[in-house]
């Protein structure tokens, strides 16, 4: 029992440290680095990069997987396709739900992200966030919870925590559901770069879809939005369900 509580604590306290580091670094940069005042995503990327070493230390205490992928090129393709299709599908379904109308926090976050330069968006959302969040939420949180609850419940609990940390209802739902896929991929492969790849694929495609108008094209009518949403989720789920990597 004492050992289980130890694993639970190992899953929780790194999240607290992560949150403190982010708040302190962001506040310091806003107050003392005036060059970053107009670049919120670059400021976010800096705080993410600073968080990586301590989070990686916590991850190293959990124990790194040694499993090798049997069919690397195919596995990479499956991971990328799953990340993109699930991201598109969930975005579409959330778009036709009433959630966005009642989520002021989501609107503020969206404005913050897309008001900055594309390069800074790519750095913070497409690269730094997948690396840092996978180390923390899959490597540390899921890794420790799995020792207590087993894979299934650890996937659910770690994904709920991942969603809650995004701070608003829209992102909670989106992140929690994607988090299930990321945790499943990590659990299936036992190597962290696979969930990082899925996460990065989802985020980068989402950014590019907004930049180049694909989102508007896919949301011409409610019916198109619904069909694309359902198709995206189904494709992502089927691809992962039929994945034979062991």
Domain that holds residue 118: 2-241
Is residue 30 included in any domain, yes or no?
Answer: yes
Structural domain includes residue 96: yes
Q: What pLDDT sits at residue 102?
A: 73
26 domain residue, yes or no: yes
Return left, alpha or beta for 33; rule: phi > 0 is left, psi -120 to 50 is alpha, else beta: beta
pLDDT for the residue 100: 77
In this predicted structure, what is the pLDDT of residue 245? 58
Domain count, the chain: 1
At 112 the pLDDT is: 87
Please report whether residue 143 resides in a domain: yes
Residues 6+ apart with CB under 8 A from 160: 176, 179
CA distances from 186 to 100, 138, 194 (A): 30, 7, 6
Contact 187, 155 (CB under 8 A): yes
Question: Is the model's pTM score more than 0.85?
Answer: yes
Q: Quote the pLDDT of residue 176.
A: 98
Q: What is the DSSP letter of 213?
A: T
Measure Cα distances from 60 to 49, 53, 64, 143, 196 in Å: 17, 10, 6, 10, 16
Measured at the CA of 145, the angle between CA 141 and CA 150, to 5 degrees, comes to 140
Residue 246 inside a domain? The answer is no
For the chain (246 residues), the mean pLDDT of every run of 10, in chain order, is 87 97 94 87 96 97 77 94 98 89 79 92 98 98 96 98 92 96 96 97 97 90 94 97 75
Predicted pLDDT at 178: 98
Asked whether 11 and 145 are in contact (CB, 8 A), the reply is yes
In a domain, 45, yes or no: yes
């Amino acid at each position: 029992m004492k050992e289980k509580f130890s694993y639970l604590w190992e899953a929780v306290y790194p999240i607290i440290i992560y949150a403190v580091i982010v708040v302190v670094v962001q506040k310091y940069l806003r107050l003392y680095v005036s060059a970053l005042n107009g670049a919120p995503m670059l400021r976010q990327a800096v705080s993410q990069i600073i968080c990586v070493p301590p989070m990686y230390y916590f991850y190293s205490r959990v124990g790194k997987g040694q499993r090798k992928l049997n069919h690397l090129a195919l596995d990479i393709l499956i991971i990328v396709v799953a990340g993109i299709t699930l991201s598109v599908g969930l975005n579409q379904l959330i778009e036709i739900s009433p959630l966005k109308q009642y989520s002021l926090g989501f609107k503020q976050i969206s404005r913050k992200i897309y008001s900055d330069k594309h390069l800074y968006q790519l750095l913070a959302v497409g690269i730094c966030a997948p690396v840092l969040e996978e180390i923390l939420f899959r490597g540390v949180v899921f890794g420790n919870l799995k020792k207590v609850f087993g894979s299934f419940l650890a996937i659910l609990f770690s994904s709920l925590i991942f969603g809650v940390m995004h701070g608003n209802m829209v992102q909670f739902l989106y992140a929690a559901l994607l988090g299930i896929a990321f945790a499943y991929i990590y659990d299936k492969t036992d190597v962290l770069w696979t969930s990082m790849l899925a996460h990065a694929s989802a985020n980068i495609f989402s950014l590019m879809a907004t930049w180049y108008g694909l989102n508007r094209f896919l949301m011409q009518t409610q019916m198109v939005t619904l069909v694309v949403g359902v198709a995206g989720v189904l494709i992502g789920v089927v691809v992962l369900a039929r994945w034979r990597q062991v």
